Amino acid sequence: MHVTLPDGKQLDLPQGATALDAARAIGPRLAQDALAATANGDLVDLMTPLPEGASITLITKKNPADAAPVFRHSLGHTLSQAVGEFYQRKGYPREAVKRGVGPSIENGFYQDFDLPEPLKEEDLPEIEAIMREIIGRNLDIVRQDVGKAAALEQFGYDPYKVELIREFPDDEPVTFYTQGDYVDLCRGPHFPNTGKLPGAFKLMSTSGAYWRGNEKNPILQRVYGVAFTTQKELDEYLEKLEEAKRRDHRKLGRELELFLIDPLVGKGLPMWLPNGTILRDELTRFLREQQFQRDYQGVVTPNIGNLDLFRTSGHYPYYSDSQFEPLTVDEEQYMLKPMNCPFHIRIYASKPHSYRDLPVRLAEFGTVYRYEMSGELNGLTRVRGFTQDDAHIFARPDQLKKEFLDVLDLTVLVLKTFGMNDVRFRVGVRDPESDKYVGDPAQWEVAERQIIEAVEEVGLPYTIEPGDAAFYGPKLDFVVKDVLGREWQLGTIQVDYNLPERFDLTYTGEDGQEHRPVMIHRAPFGSLERFVGILIEHYGGDFPFWLAPRQVMIIPIADRHNAYAETLANEFKAAGLRAEVDDSNGRMNAKVRDAELHKIPVMLIVGDQEEARREVSVRERTPEGHKERKGVDFTALLAELQERYRTRA
């Protein structure tokens, strides 16, 4: 067999040769330094046979970061071995520890265990120390193919491994990896030796996880770790995690009194407190203004609908796993609304339309309900009841491109307004091998092509993600990176030829004949709950002035200044701004500190001199730090803040 090197040269190797054989053929030093390889662009380890004619690249100690998924996977095996040794040292037999899966993940790895007694967080440093012992043993990691019967005999004590092995075809070998006396069922890839694994790793936490993600299966204990090529990268990552804890929207949501999730109300059902409601209202006002400029019409639809509506749309049964169970009312079945689009479709269909009427743009801040497993719920970012900034555009086919570009422009404007400028654009298309999609493949091809042409016309970089489309049509998702470098999928635009077909929607064309409209589904925020949760963390609770629930705190130096402070607060309110007076008994410095803790962007200090001259002393929170101004004319300041609020600066 032969393989091709990056410079185009070919190596002749024995049949079934590995990347290590290729490295040895080039030179002994390369064979010593090699850590992993790529074959036709896929990461492989040095022990796996290469495909005939593969284009290969060898990864060495000079570029170990290229092999990060491989060394993270090997560290997962090292964790698994260390946990086994931890329990053996406590007197348990080797077979007492049973194992689920243990893949590499972004920034690290995890391993699932069925343990004789639960691991505690305080056990993690000891297990981490055992991992470092194992690395220090310089154990060769050996790959071996065995028959199915031998594999079942090897893991007869472990029901999780047995379940996986039984799913293998009888004529397909099962792959084991061995390091020292530790053996595991695994496809790989792995580093060739534990001694070559980087030491820049840390075990972070444990949690419960259903076996194979199914809540009907046993709950296993999952141990998470992070790993990087260098200690510097690990330290930076851990520092970023600490910053993420400080910005955690659940923590700030409590401190700033924005939202509440009450177990008596129900898991995943947030309630907006007064401060959070102001924040939500500012967001909806901003988007409604933009929609008004673009000729959207507002509608309001029920939170429950007849099950037949969702059968017709396809949401039931296509999304039945993520919906609440139907309920029976007067011998009819109903569902909590999982989507707004079927309701908007019925509004469109409620009267005839001419080609002159189109496009029809229907918009709603509509609350929907989805069943999420309790283990996946997370503050505002993963909930069971949420409000989408939803709209559906019913257009003629010749109007589609213009409408799509306008929605694209609106969504980019929304993200820029909130300082979310690091965005990547993801085109989700159907997977032809999957049966989860409905409609004519030819229409799918048209819709996918129209999205790609629109994105290319405005010069946006994009990736194509097969299998990421909605069941009824392809989509463009906006994936935003926040200030901590984390990615969030927010807005979406979807092109849909299928639901108009399923609901038999029509308009009368210039020729007097009936024609089928095309739909655009769009939600620039995605959902208010998720968007607010991300905003809280993006800003760290320090919202810009226009968005801050509490905009101005007026702090009298002494009780005799309270009346002047109240007069100023009333003038702010008359001008449409949110202002409060802290007339508590505390000292001025304590009041300033309290306003700081509540992240109020503008603090005004008033005393004798300020009252005599109708002035204020200003202390502002800014991204660059505090900004202070003394002797500021109040009328001028009021005009300045009004303008900042009006322009959403």
Q: How far apart are CA 510 and CA 507, in angstroms?
A: 10
Q: How far apart are CA 649 and CA 637, in angstroms?
A: 15
**In this structure, are residues 110 and 100 in contact, taking their beta carbons and an 8 Å threshold?**
no
Catalytic residue among 521, 561, 619, 621: 521
Residue 140 DSSP label: B
**In this structure, are residues 56 and 26 in contact, taking their beta carbons and an 8 Å threshold?**
no
Token duo for residue 503: 């609901």
392 annotated among ligand-binding-site residues: yes
Q: Any catalytic annotation for residue 370?
A: yes
Q: Any catalytic annotation for residue 222?
A: no
Q: Which residues contact 611 (CB under 8 A, 6 or more apart)?
A: 561, 564
Q: How far apart are CA 150 and CA 165, in angstroms?
A: 10
Catalytic residue among 111, 341, 494, 582: 341
- For residue 175, give Cα distances in angstroms to 48, 54, 114, 145, 189: 10, 21, 22, 5, 11
Q: How far apart are CA 226 and CA 124, in angstroms?
A: 13
521 annotated among ligand-binding-site residues: yes
Q: Which residues contact 274 (CB under 8 A, 6 or more apart)?
A: 257, 549
Q: Any catalytic annotation for residue 642?
A: no
**In this structure, are residues 154 and 13 in contact, taking their beta carbons and an 8 Å threshold?**
no
Catalytic residue among 98, 143, 196, 475: 475
Cis peptide before 524 (omega within 30 of 0): no
522: nearest Cα among 465, 472, 456, 476:
476
Q: Any catalytic annotation for residue 390?
A: yes
Catalytic residue among 390, 477, 482, 496: 390
Catalytic residue among 370, 430, 578, 621: 370
530: nearest Cα among 488, 566, 479:
488
Token duo for residue 170: 């009888």
Spatial strand order of the sheet with 141-146 comes to: 141-146, 174-179, 182-185
- For residue 128, give Cα distances in angstroms to 75, 204, 226, 227, 240: 10, 10, 11, 12, 21
Residue 5: beta bridge partners?
A: none
> Cα–Cα–Cα angle for 541, 542, 543, nearest 5°?
95
281: nearest Cα among 258, 301, 265, 300:
258
Catalytic residue among 99, 249, 392, 621: 392
In 34-193, alpha helices (H): 68-89, 124-136, 148-154, 159-166
Q: Any catalytic annotation for residue 186?
A: no
Catalytic residue among 179, 388, 494, 551: 388
- Active-site residues, by number, are 341, 370, 388, 390, 392, 475, 521
Annotated binding site for Zn(2+): 341, 392, 521
Annotated binding site: 341, 392, 521
